[in-house]
């Protein structure tokens, strides 16, 4: 997998996470409180600027009330 493809996939995941957050009517600040992550980190995740760990996936999924597999359910390259 090329670096460009990696970056594209991070952006796709970020867009998906943002849609999930918005579908739950949560602000960045509210989601950050629910999953104990800094809201600037969540913003960077949603913009596809940083790669996230499995622990972060678990935290986000729990805060959004979904499973980790649902969190990762997007069209990756």
Ordered by where they begin, the domains of the chain are: 3-63 (1.10.260.40)
Residue 3 has pLDDT above 70, yes or no: no
Higher local confidence (pLDDT), 74 or 31: 31
Segment 60-74 shows an average pLDDT of 96
CA distance 52 to 45: 7
Segment 4-12 shows an average pLDDT of 87
Residue 63 DSSP label = H
User: 56 with 19: CB under 8 angstroms?
Assistant: no
pTM: 0.90
- pLDDT tens for each residue of 44-63: 999 999 999 999 999 999 99
């Amino acid at each position: 997998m090329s670096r460009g493809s990696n970056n594209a996939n991070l952006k796709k995941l970020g867009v998906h996470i943002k849609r999930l957050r918005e579908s739950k009517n949560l602000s960045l600040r509210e989601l950050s409180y629910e999953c104990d992550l800094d809201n600037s980190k969540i913003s960077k995740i949603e913009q596809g600027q940083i790669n996230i760990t499995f622990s972060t996936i678990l935290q986000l999924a729990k805060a959004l009330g979904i499973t980790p597999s649902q969190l990762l359910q997007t069209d990756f390259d």
